Chain A
Amino acid sequence: MIVDMTPEDIIGEYQEATLTYCDGQSRKVLYTELETPYPDGKLIVSTTTPDGIISHVNRAFVEMSGYTEAELIGAPHCILRHPDMPSAAFKDLWDTVQRGEKWQGFVKNLRKDGGYYWVKATVIPNVRGGKVVGYTSVRRKPSRSKVDECIALYPTLS
């Protein structure tokens, strides 16, 4: 179950949007223009179930997302989805990993406090005994030039 964001969690002036995910669920998100820079030398690591429910996070994930580990475990990974991200990007991600292939792309993630951070994300299926048992996502620091390209490109995608 995905819950709406609430104003008391937000830092700074915010806007509202309603996101509808591919499973039909909707969520009200509140977002600001405050960027958290990606820290040098760190990787954000998480794993999900085949349905996209978070099953493991590392410390960097907790720090950058603004959520506690307890809030993240069991939550759908799409709680990080920012309204500026085109849904086509996530469709491509899921189509790719469900074919058993690796997906890589630049993603603007939404923090619990309404701010955002850019990452270069790689997602791979976890295959055990020939069966996909989940997905691992590793995020690293993107270059500013690639982020700027995405800022120009993403509004043109649906």
Chain B
Amino acid sequence: MSYMFTVSPDFAPDHLSGWYIFNTWLQKQSAEAIHLEMYNHYQDLHQAIAADKIDLIYANPFDAAMLVREKGFLPLVRAQGESDEAIIAVNANSNINDVADLKPNTRVAFTDDPDVRLMGMIMLEPADLHAGNIAPLLSDNHVLVAKHLLKGEADVGIILAEAYDNLSGVIKKQLRILVRSQISVIYHSLMIGPRLQNRRADFQKILLEMDKDEKGGGVLNALGFNAWQRIEDEEMEFMIDLMDTLNT
């Protein structure tokens, strides 16, 4: 039997090949046939989840609640020391110096990455901005959000902090960070679906020992991670509760 693995579409483009290498490594270590399917858009991912096609997923925290509560997924591991953070950025020449300066109909550029958008919109709340009174500018990726700011097409941009930090120096010089989130408790997680759950303990063991293995360490580097750390069921429940409080 072959299983299907996927990665939340907000993966860093530089790490695309890393995920394929990881999948090859995981198949060898687990002796399971696993096919990696990458989706470019959340809509396609959510259709695949709804059709019960997915067995293993590196999931966005926004999807974690649905995966656990509706699809019976359980957490395996998360990238050690990594958490999802968002940045509110403006053009370096913008006269906006504080979120509180923003007014209704502010042009806000963002991607379809749901947790980054959620964190970003929370950071705009102090200006009484919400989905109903902004001019949204949906962009295909975080670089395009930055470009909308540079061209003056957007007043503020919501960008995944990791993506912002990886923007070229030339682009970053023309931008300014208004707010950087410091939430620390929201993260992507590798989760296992019902068909593979009898192997959960094996997969956790393989992944937790990955950084100690020479080849495994190299694969982790290709993903931009140092090591995996275990996620206890209660930790996942806590994050789901947390996302629930934010999602209002």
Interface residues of A (CB under 8 A from B): 40-43, 45, 47, 58-60, 102, 104, 120, 122-124, 126, 128, 136-138, 140-146
For A41, list chain B residues within 8 Å (CB).
Answer: 123, 179-183
Interface residues of B (CB under 8 A from A): 99-100, 122-123, 125-128, 179-185, 234, 237-238, 241-242, 244-246, 248
Inter-chain contact total with CB atoms closer than 8 Å: 66
Shortest beta-carbon contacts, A-B, top 5: A122-B245, A138-B245, A41-B181, A40-B179, A143-B128
A-B contact pairs, 27 of them (CB 8 A): A40-B99, A41-B123, A41-B181, A42-B183, A43-B183, A58-B184, A59-B184, A60-B182, A102-B244, A102-B245, A102-B248, A122-B245, A123-B245, A124-B241, A124-B244, A124-B245, A126-B237, A126-B241, A136-B241, A137-B245, A138-B245, A140-B125, A143-B125, A143-B126, A143-B127, A144-B100, A144-B126
A85 and B13 CA atoms in complex are apart in Å by: 49
Q: A102-B245, A138-B246 are in contact. Are A120 and B125 (CB under 8 A)?
A: yes
Closest beta carbon of chain B to A18's beta carbon, Å: 32
- Of chain A, the residue at the smallest CB distance from B186 is A43
Closest beta carbon of chain B to A119's beta carbon, Å: 11
The prevalent SS among residues of B at the interface is: helix
For B128, list chain A residues within 8 Å (CB).
Answer: 143, 145-146
Q: A41-B123, A144-B126, A146-B128 are in contact. Are A122 and B185 (CB under 8 A)?
A: no
For A60, list chain B residues within 8 Å (CB).
Answer: 182
For B125, list chain A residues within 8 Å (CB).
Answer: 120, 140-143
A47 and B123 CA atoms in complex are apart in Å by: 22
Q: Do A136 and B180 have beta carbons less than 8 Å apart? A: no
- Of chain B, the residue at the smallest CB distance from A146 is B128
Q: Do B241 and A141 have beta carbons less than 8 Å apart? A: no
For A47, list chain B residues within 8 Å (CB).
Answer: 238
- Of chain B, the residue at the smallest CB distance from A136 is B241
For B234, list chain A residues within 8 Å (CB).
Answer: 128
Q: A41-B180, A140-B122, A144-B100 are in contact. Are A128 and B237 (CB under 8 A)?
A: yes
- Of chain B, the residue at the smallest CB distance from A135 is B241
For A124, list chain B residues within 8 Å (CB).
Answer: 241, 244-245
For A42, list chain B residues within 8 Å (CB).
Answer: 181-183
Closest beta carbon of chain B to A44's beta carbon, Å: 11
A58 and B185 CA atoms in complex are apart in Å by: 9
A138 and B245 CA atoms in complex are apart in Å by: 7
A128 and B240 CA atoms in complex are apart in Å by: 12
